[in-house]
Amino acid sequence: MSCAEHRAYHHGDLRQTLLEAAVRHIRAEGTEGLSLRALAREAGVSPTAPYRHFENRQALLAALATEGFRELDEVIGAAVVAGADPVTQVFLVGVSYVEYARTHPVKYHMMFGDLIGDFSPFAELREAAEGSYRKMERVLEAGLAAGLLKPCPLAELGGNTWAMVHGIAGLVIAAQRRSEAFPGEILDTIRPMQAQHRVLEAPERAVARLMLGLVADPDAARALERRAGLT
Amino acid sequence: MSCAEHRAYHHGDLRQTLLEAAVRHIRAEGTEGLSLRALAREAGVSPTAPYRHFENRQALLAALATEGFRELDEVIGAAVVAGADPVTQVFLVGVSYVEYARTHPVKYHMMFGDLIGDFSPFAELREAAEGSYRKMERVLEAGLAAGLLKPCPLAELGGNTWAMVHGIAGLVIAAQRRSEAFPGEILDTIRPMQAQHRVLEAPERAVARLMLGLVADPDAARALERRAGLT
DNA sequence: GGCCTGATGTTTGCGCTGTCAACATCCCCT
DNA sequence: AGGGGATGTTGACAGCGCAAACATCAGGCC
- Chains A and B form CB pairs within 8 A to the count of 185
| B33 CA to C15 C1' distance (Å) | 15
Q: Is B51 on the interface with A (CB under 8 A)?
A: no
Which string of DSSP letters, residue by residue, matches chain A? --SSSS--SS-SSHHHHHHHHHHHHHHHHTTTT--HHHHHHHTTS-TTGGGGT-SSHHHHHHHHHHHHHHHHHHHHHHHHTT---HHHHHHHHHHHHHHHHHH-HHHHHHHHSSSS--STT-HHHHHHHHHHHHHHHHHHHHHHHTT-B----HHHHHHHHHHHHHHHHHHHHHHHH-TTTS-HHHHHHHSPPSSGGGTTHHHHHHHHHHHGGGB--HHHHHHHHHHTT--
Q: Is B186 on the interface with A (CB under 8 A)?
A: yes
Residues 109-128 of B with CB under 8 A from A: 109, 112-115, 117-120, 125-126
What pTM, to 2 d.p., does this model score? 0.91
- Residue-wise pLDDT tens digits, A79-135: 998 678 999 999 999 999 999 999 999 999 999 988 887 888 999 999 999 999 999
- Residue-wise pLDDT tens digits, B21-65: 999 999 988 888 899 999 999 999 999 999 999 999 999 999 999
Q: Is A174 on the interface with B (CB under 8 A)?
A: yes
User: How far off is chain B from A189, nearest CA to CA, in Å?
Assistant: 5
Instruction: Look at residue B120 in the predicted model and tell me its pLDDT.
Output: 85
Stretches where chain A sits below pLDDT 50 are: 1-6, 193-199
In chain A, residues with a C-beta closer than 8 Å to the C-beta of B182 are 129-130, 133
The answer to whether the Cβ–Cβ distance between A118 and B183 falls below 8 Å is: no
Nearest to A166 among B160, B171, B212 (CB): B171
Stretches where chain B sits below pLDDT 50 are: 1-6, 193-199
Q: Is B159 on the interface with A (CB under 8 A)?
A: yes
